[in-house]
Amino acid sequence: MDFTAWPSLTAMFFEQAAARRDKNFLWSKVDGTYRPQTWAAVSEQVKDLSRGLRDLGLERGDRVVLVSENRPEWLVADVAVMAAGGITVPAYTTNLPGDHLHILSNSGAVGAIVSTRALAKKLMPAVLDAPDCRWVVAMEDLQQGQAGPKAVHHWDTVMERGRALPDDVEDYAGVAERGDTACIIYTSGTGGVPRGVMLSHGAMLCNCMGAYDLLVKVGLGHEVFLCFLPLSHAYEHTAGQFFPMTIGAEIYYSEGVEHLLRNLGEARPTILTAVPRLYESMHLKIRRGIDKQGGFKAKLFAKAEEIGRRRYLAPEKLTLLDRIQDFFLERLVRNKIRARFGGRIKAIVSGGAALNFDIGLFFTALGLPILQGYGQTETAPVVSANPPWKVKLHTVGPPFTGVEARIAEDGEILIRGELVMNGYWRDEEATALALKDGWLHTGDIGKIDDDGYLIITDRKKDIIVLSGGDNVSPARVEGILTLQTEITQAMVYGDKRPNLVAVLVPDEEFLSGWAKQNGKPADQAALAEDPDFRAAVGAVVDKVNGELSPLEKIRRFAILPEAFTVENHMMTPTLKIRRHKIREAYGPVLEGLYEKRA
């Protein structure tokens, strides 16, 4: 399969649509049941909308902000904007009006596309204040006409306008080249104000080529994806939308993370891409379910996990009895675990953040080997991933096809290849700092092993330097803390300090169980100050400290009154903690932990 032959994402889409016309492509819920749309139907929608957007005045190079939950119209809008010569600017559905205003103003978007009335309520105040934005296209009924100086159009009306125009979309889109910017994706802001990352058609096609070479040996054929991570994030945008297109796969749109297990059973995906936080959540649910069952089933599960762990860590030490037991446990235990994921998974991929080794080992032992990958928005986004034929869980695998990686003198990972961004939109200074002599300076620290696999140590800017000059990886300590069933979230703190402290969010089920047992209300804010509950959490921290080096030990901790969420801006939409926001909110608490020590 020659991914270099496609000059653009739109050329790829139209070629695939022509080859697969009547085959099912996109699946979404209609009246509670998944129903499909064919490649031909989606292609016609893309063409109609693309002509309609040009009729509204969209010109080559214009930016259009897209605010929508995952649904077929997201893909239609994205490809239609690109086919009209425009640049898509995805925005998170969790954005507040101020976030939208920053993206609209910084990108200079001439228009916006929004799905629901609820999302429009947060978008429209920003549209009214954005100097360059002239129109909005809404998928649901809004008050059409003029909103101040801005024009509001219904999705169906724009489609009808486009349908009445000559069909020149493929020719019009055909001038796009691989190096042209296809989209501007604003970083999720783990460390500050989001910047617009310019990604080319070629960058995303390069990623798709790498993904194909990674997965082709699992037997790619009739593939099914479940799209549930935000499409406004580079990971899902490429891996969950454009890569499935390149291999002619079907895409099911999830109803949301809260319905993920049900949708897995309905879609029965063959390839699953997710972030570590979701695998951690699944791990906890599986463990709790087994603990509640108890008895013989729990013993079978424990044996399957134990042999599976040894099969990965030291396969040469498995005895004949182990192998016989493993054969039966495959059918009695592992097949049932795989059934929870739909029963036909070929590959599970983890990206977007570091995967805890024990979480990866847990799923691998139970017959669901996770292929951990690595990347960032600036690399469209995947740099490397573990191949199915040689998984090394402590690494993020070798670089993708067409990608070069090297380690700078200070340990920073540098990346070169077509996948690298065109730069930061309207930020020449930041672009010059990130791109030097063709190499992207990732800001991540790591090394390359003898097999050419990348090993990530930490984010360069996140590494904690204690007052004694010692470096500590907060991600490692936080990973071990949140592996405990009693702790669901953690952030470690201690830069320029003599030791580490932490703020912790207890697990809801642990909290409610403890409260019931001790006759107290299950109120997190109240229990955060309860000395007996603190002692229970402290016992968990002591257990974790037993696994850590002296420099990594948590000397003091605070229990927070609420969880880190996307809504309170302490997590990104892809469920990574925003350290700077947590420090802003709980700075006095963190500093107070050192005052108590004194």
**Span 542-571, pLDDT tens digits:** 999 998 888 899 999 999 999 999 889 898
Q: What is the pLDDT of residue 189?
A: 55
**The token pair that represents 144 in the structure block:** 């059409």
Task: Note whether 582 and 503 are within 8 A (CB).
Answer: yes
Q: What is the pLDDT of residue 146?
A: 62
Predicted TM-score of the model (pTM): 0.84
**The token pair that represents 273 in the structure block:** 């891409």
Task: Note whether 47 and 159 are within 8 A (CB).
Answer: no
pLDDT band at 1 (very low <50, low <70, confident <90, very high): confident
Q: What is the pLDDT of residue 598?
A: 41
Task: Note whether 349 and 370 are within 8 A (CB).
Answer: yes
CA distance 586 to 598: 19
CA distance 569 to 582: 9
Supply φ then ψ for residue 139, to 5 degrees.
-75, -25
Residue corresponding to tokens 């009209």: 84
Task: Note whether 188 and 580 are within 8 A (CB).
Answer: no
CA distance 136 to 131: 14
In Å, how far are 50, 128, 337, 564 from 135, measured between CA atoms? 15, 10, 49, 35
CA distance 86 to 121: 25
Mean local confidence (pLDDT), 225-240:
95
**Span 197-225, pLDDT tens digits:** 999 999 999 999 999 999 998 999 999 99
SS3 content of the chain, % helix, strand, coil (to 5): 45, 20, 35
Task: Note whether 76 and 70 are within 8 A (CB).
Answer: no
Give the residue with greater pLDDT, 250 vs 192. 250
What are the helix (H) ranges across 414-495?
Answer: 428-434, 474-482
Q: What is the mean pLDDT of the chain?
A: 93
How do 382-385 and 403-407 pair as beta strands? Answer: unpaired
**Span 331-382, pLDDT tens digits:** 999 999 999 899 999 999 999 878 889 999 999 999 998 999 999 999 999 9
**Span 35-74, pLDDT tens digits:** 999 999 999 999 999 999 999 999 999 999 999 999 999 9
Q: How far apart are the first and last CA of the chain?
A: 64
DSSP 220-239: -SS-EEEE-S-TTSHHHIII
**The token pair that represents 132 in the structure block:** 């360059």
Residue 412 pairs with which residues in a beta bridge? 445
Sequence-ordered strand ranges (E) for 313-369 = 347-350
Q: What is the pLDDT of residue 284?
A: 85
> Which domains does the chain possess?
3-186+219-267 (3.40.50.12780), 271-343+345-459 (3.40.50.12780), 464-597 (3.30.300.30)
Supply φ then ψ for residue 142, to 5 degrees.
-120, 175
Residue corresponding to tokens 């049932």: 336
Task: Note whether 273 and 235 are within 8 A (CB).
Answer: yes
3-state secondary structure of 195: coil
Q: How many CA atoms lie within 13 A of 592 on its CB side?
A: 9
